[in-house]
Amino acid sequence: MDGRTPESQSGTTSGGPVSADHPAILVVRAPERPGIVAAVAAALRDAGATIVDADSHTDRTSGLFLQRIAIAGADGGDLDSSALLPRLLAVQGAFALTFELHRPTDAARLVLLCSRHLHCAADLLARCALGELDATVVAVLSDKPEGRELAERHGVPFEHLPPGDDRAAQERLVGDRLAALDPDLVVLARYMRVLPGWLTDQWFGRMINIHHSFLPAFIGADPYRKAHERGVKLIGATAHYVTEELDAGPIINQDVVRVSHRDAVPDLVRKGRDVERIVLADAVRWHLEHRVVVFGNRTCVFA
């Protein structure tokens, strides 16, 4: 989803037939320059493409222009990529832009990493089963044994990868399994181990974590206990792309829920679960629909 069907420099084409209900998604990124909107729009028009939906943003600080366009062919039908790609490549040359063109694909392939707290994994599995997410969970990996029953109930292979005495060996194993499974997206669904930089680098932009606080407050372990000690009146959750620095990657989505003096730590944990679930599920859906563009350490979310 994140690079499986990008047809940029290479110009290759893949993915299924396009329609107004299943449009292709063009993501453009370029230094801001007058005429860029007109040039992209003209390329689409000349290729017979219909704009189903469009959103754009120019970041004033960096002068970066970002655009997401949902496109179909003439009259909302299939798109003629052989007509479109040369035109986009011509614009690319003139405006120093990069683009990705994602045709509709089969359901995205997800791998979930989890530990003992299974509510986020359970929620994503249920959404896939209900058709709310256009995705298939191809494996659940965990450093703990608890998730097996959940995964198997959904017919999904479960792999228990305990760290034992050798942390680095377990990390290599996780890396090997992810490489072999080759998913479109890895979701850390309350996986309670810090991943090494070589692994987060490898999956940057294709690995989403849910942290159970309103970042940057309460980074690291035990955020609900810390929130209780500080006496905050709201608790939150944050979905972000994973980077080497703990809980510091580009934020995709956040939300909070009101709490009070009546809420002890277990109440915060319970109330936080629903926030975590929904913040993560929305982040995953936006990612799969190519609505999230990372720039610097920030995200543009065309939602």
Residues that bind its own copies (CB under 8 A): 34-35, 37-38, 41-42, 44-45, 48-61, 74, 118-119, 122-123, 126, 129-130, 132, 150, 153-154, 214-218, 230-234, 236, 250-256, 260-262, 264, 270, 273-274, 278, 281, 297-301
Q: How far is the CB of 44 from its own copies (least distance, A)?
A: 7
CB of 31 to its own copies, least distance (A): 14
Amino acid (1-letter code) at residue 269: V
3-state secondary structure the chain: CCCCCCCCCCCCCCCCCCCCCCCEEEEEEEECCCCHHHHHHHHHHHCCCEEEEEEEEEECCCCEEEEEEEEECHHHCCCCHHHHHHHHHHHHHHHCCEEEEECCCCCEEEEEEECCCCHHHHHHHHHHHHCCCCEEEEEEEECCCCCHHHHHHCCCCEEECCCCCCHHHHHHHHHHHHHHHCCCEEEECCCCCCCCHHHHHHCCCCEEEEECCCCCCCCCCCHHHHHHHHCCCEEEEEEEECCCCCCCCCEEEEEEEECCCCCCHHHHHHHHHHHHHHHHHHHHHHHHCCCEEEECCEEEECC
- Least Å from the CB of residue 53 to its own copies: 7
Active site residue 247: yes
Q: Least distance from C-beta 54 to its own copies, angstroms?
A: 6
d(CA 40, CA 34): 12
Indicate which residue of 247, 255, 263, 282 is catalytic.
247
Nearer to its own copies, 59 or 80 (CB): 59
192 vs 256, beta carbon nearer its own copies: 256
Measured from the CB of residue 63, what is the shortest distance to its own copies in angstroms? 11
Cβ of residue 210: shortest distance to its own copies, in angstroms? 14
Whether 238 contacts 248, CB under 8 Å: no
For residues 140 and 115, the answer to whether their CB atoms sit within 8 Å is: no
Active site residues: 247
